[in-house]
Amino acid sequence: MTPSYRSKVSTLLEMGETRSVAKNAVQGLLITSILTSVAAVALETAEEISSRYAGLLGAIEVVVVGMLTLEYALRLWAAPEREPGGTDRPWQARFSYAVSALGIIDLVAILPFFTDLLLPLNQDWLRVLRLLRLLKLARYVSGLALFAAVIHNESRPLFATLMVLVVLLVLNSGVMFVLERETQPKVFASIPHTLWWAIVTMASVGYGDMAPITLWGKVFGGFVMILGIAMFAVPAGILATGFAAEIRKRDFVVTWQTVAKVPLFAGLDAARIAEIARLLKREVVPANYVIVRRGERADAMFFIMSGEVEVDIPPTPLRLGRGHYFGEIALLRDTARTATVTAVSECQLLALEATDFRRLLEAHPDLKESISKVAEQRLSPDR
């Protein structure tokens, strides 16, 4: 069945495993437009540049907004193709995109321009709104999406830490106000004034515009500094743990999907695939790298996620690509490696260590039978 135009547009605009020259060109053009627009906003604030190249900077803004407006319209039109069951409820799918985080960001990227045409805005604040176009990069830069996911996942402990920090700031401000009010009535004029001192002190910034001069004020100020270091270490630890957990989760999902596509495991249910995925360790090797060498002790077998390897089996070397595996023969026979395997191109591999391999085959005899058949075929003279 020939894909519809809407389906083709959706495929062209959305990120995915399938890459093409057209998709790379479209995404490259959009990223370049966003970065060019942000650079133009920054250059507008330099008076000598804005006065000399005002026409060029204005033209860049018009062209970029035109492209981003077209992109938004196409994403809105193609939204039913991205949502399960969306083709049966196209307007509901389009509404879901419009109110999604990425949909709102896409709208905010173009809305200030059209709003300024109808209701002139303060140009400085308009520039700030135009800088928000950088958020569109979250669709293409995985690091930004990862950060947003970590903040969402760890929102409860981060909010609890923030509340504790607010309480400490207020209490510290109140104590320092009492200690320094008589000596420095103009500097520590009130608790709201003193709150600025508490913020810069606990943040270990220490601008020096407000500083205690009494003995007890200095003692308490030193205590607040130490307390601030400890308090800011808490959210840092929460974020570090959150990043590690999110990366592990994403790696597991990728590994699970890869294992599910391996023909050897095609008939397994999700639970068994997940069991195997937990045993695998990701490795990346460059082109021409010798992964295993004939005569070496066998310590693992490997599944190919991407790239291609060459197995030096006489009389004709064997090439294996994505979805294939190697290194199982020596593990099955408990012998040294029977062939040298070299990466033809950069390869992403999943390694299954010898102990896990044997444990897996003991638990699943049918897998042992399938792997043994493939091993016999590879060693057969008339393969």
CA atoms within 13 A on the CB side of 368: 13
Quote the percentage of the chain above a pLDDT of 70. 92
Q: Which residues is 159 bridged to in the sheet?
A: none
Residue 29 CA, chain-centre distance (Å), reads 21
Which pLDDT score is estimated for 1? 43
| Highest mean pLDDT of the ranges 77-81, 199-203, 302-306 | 199-203
Q: What is the pLDDT of residue 19?
A: 65
The whole-model pTM stands at 0.61
Q: Compute the CA torsion angle 239, 244, 250, 252 (nearest 10 deg).
A: -150
Question: Which residue has 């970590």 as its token pair?
Answer: 150
Average confidence score pLDDT of the chain: 84
Is the pLDDT confidence value at 362 over 50?
yes
Average pLDDT of span 328-351: 85
**From CA 252, how far away is CA 244, in angstroms rounded?**
12
380 band by pLDDT with thresholds 50, 70 and 90: low
Specify the range with the lowest mean pLDDT, choosing from 153-167, 197-211, 262-276, 286-300. 262-276
Tens digits of residue pLDDT in 33-71: 999 999 999 998 888 888 888 889 889 999 999 999 999
Per the CB < 8 A criterion, the answer to whether 311 and 339 are in contact is: yes
Angle 270-279/215-261 helices, nearest 10 degrees?
120
Q: Above pLDDT 90, what percent of the chain?
A: 26
Based on its alpha-carbon atoms, the radius of gyration of the chain, rounded to whole angstroms, reads: 30
Are the C-beta atoms of 214 and 122 separated by less than 8 Å?
no
Nearest residue to 37 via CA among 121, 115, 105, 110: 110
For residues 293-319, average pLDDT = 86
Q: Is the pLDDT reported for residue 379 higher than 70?
A: no
Q: Would the pLDDT of 2 be above 60?
A: no
Give first-to-last CA distance, the chain, whole Å: 37
* Res 116: pLDDT: 86
Q: If pLDDT is split at 50, 70 and 90, which confidence band does 3 have?
A: low
Which pLDDT belongs to residue 80? Answer: 82
